[in-house]
Amino acid sequence: MIGYFIRRLGAIVPTLLVGIFIAFALTYFGPGDPVSVFLEQQGRLSEEAYEALRRQYGLDRPFLVQFGDYVTGLVRGTFGKSIWAGGRPIEVMIRRALPVSVQLGFVAFLITVGTGIPLGIFAALRQNTLVDYAIVSASVVVSSIPTFVLAPMLMILFVLVIPVLKNPIGWGGIFDARIVLPAFCIAVGPLMGIVRQARSAVLEVIRQDYVRTAYAKGLPRRMVIWRHIFRHILTPLLSVGVGLFGGILQGSIFVERVFNIPGYGALSFQSFVARDFPVILATTVVAAIIAMSLNLVLDISYGLVDPRVRLGRRVEEV
């Protein structure tokens, strides 16, 4: 298992370096100049101020020199300094924003998985019945509602029509009631995917001979579902679940802006609006690290669940 982990980790490092190089090149050669935009907003655009600010942030050096210094800083755990925040270290900004998005994404993930998997299993057990059609249709409809439409609808419903929440705007932590609406807005998007995946996995397993044998032995249906069906659909659901959490964590930009949540998505949005290239680059790199780390966790989980994976012998399940 250790050798398998080392091989997977060794494959991630060069991929991450290539991704960092591409992101750095796009910000370096891309349109717009953050220094010019910043000075224009400050009302003190001049050649002297422009050159001084570029020297202050090291933007006057050659491309490869800047890239080498940036990678060296990443190894040391630093992401540079924000132009719009007056030279504030970017890693400090990320350390404050990222945990907020992780908590929000975790709650949204629990809502999606805790709702989608039972609905998918129940729909599969009632295949081609009214219940099956209703679950699939409802999940399609809910997942099709855009976030910029769903968020105002939920605020109108639960603040004005049903006054459950007095103020849904802001952030008070994972145990604050204000987290429910933004988490639900994020969770409904991937709901259809998890319902469909769980339903398909159950339909594939339920036709296997060992399930029929379990029923023939007279085992209760609940025992057959949890002991023989659910454990065999964990592998496909594991893949969807890990990818789902990564997508939720990185896809909450609009929700965080609407509900005024000081998370990672809001930080990314503000950096794009301000053209703060150091912050844009840092948020992109951190997103890539998160995605690759989740993929590594997924690979390790596969290796734990199925020994054939870590031995390099993938056998197609019939």
Residue 45 above 80 pLDDT? no
Residue type, 1: M
263: left (phi over 0), alpha (psi -120 to 50) or beta: beta
Burial class (CB in 10 A: 0-12, 13-18, 19+), 75: exposed
**How far is Cα 13 from Cα 138, in angstroms, rounded to an integer?**
42
pLDDT attached to residue 27: 79
CA distance 318 to 316: 6
Which range, 47-56, 105-114, 201-210, is most confident? 105-114
228 CB contacts (<8 Å, ≥6 apart)? 205, 210, 211, 214
Query: 269: pLDDT confidence band, cut at 50, 70 and 90?
Result: confident
- Residues paired with 296 in a beta bridge: none
Beta bridge pairs of residue 89: 81
As a whole number of angstroms, the distance between CA 312 and CA 310 comes to 5
**CA atoms of 190 and 107, how far apart (whole Å):** 14
What distances in angstroms separate CA 38 from CA 34, 43, 53, 301, one per listed residue? 6, 9, 10, 46
The residues with which 81 forms a beta bridge, in sequence order, are: 89
pLDDT at 297: 76
The length of the chain is 318
Per-residue confidence (pLDDT) for residue 36, from 0 to 100: 76
Q: Are 276 and 34 in contact (CB under 8 A)?
A: yes
User: Residues of 195-210 as b/e, b for ≥16 C-beta within 10 angstroms?
Assistant: bbbbbebbeebbeeee
pLDDT tens per residue, range 124-142:
888 889 999 999 999 888 8
Please answer whether residues 169 and 177 qualify as being in contact, where contact means their C-beta atoms are separated by less than 8 angstroms: no
- Which are the contacts of 281, defined by CB distance < 8 A and separation ≥ 6? 23, 24, 27, 70, 79, 80
The confidence score (pLDDT) of residue 130 equals 93
CB 181 within 8 A of CB 155: yes
Instruction: Report how far residue 189's alpha carbon sits from residue 82's, in angstroms, rounded to the nearest whole number.
Output: 32
- 250-270 average pLDDT score: 83
Q: What is the mean pLDDT of the chain?
A: 80
Q: Domains in the chain and their CATH numbers?
A: 95-274 (1.10.3720.10)
d(CA 203, CA 121) in angstroms, rounded, equals 9
Residue 292's pLDDT band (boundaries 50, 70, 90)?
confident
> What residue type is assigned to position 28 of the chain?
Y
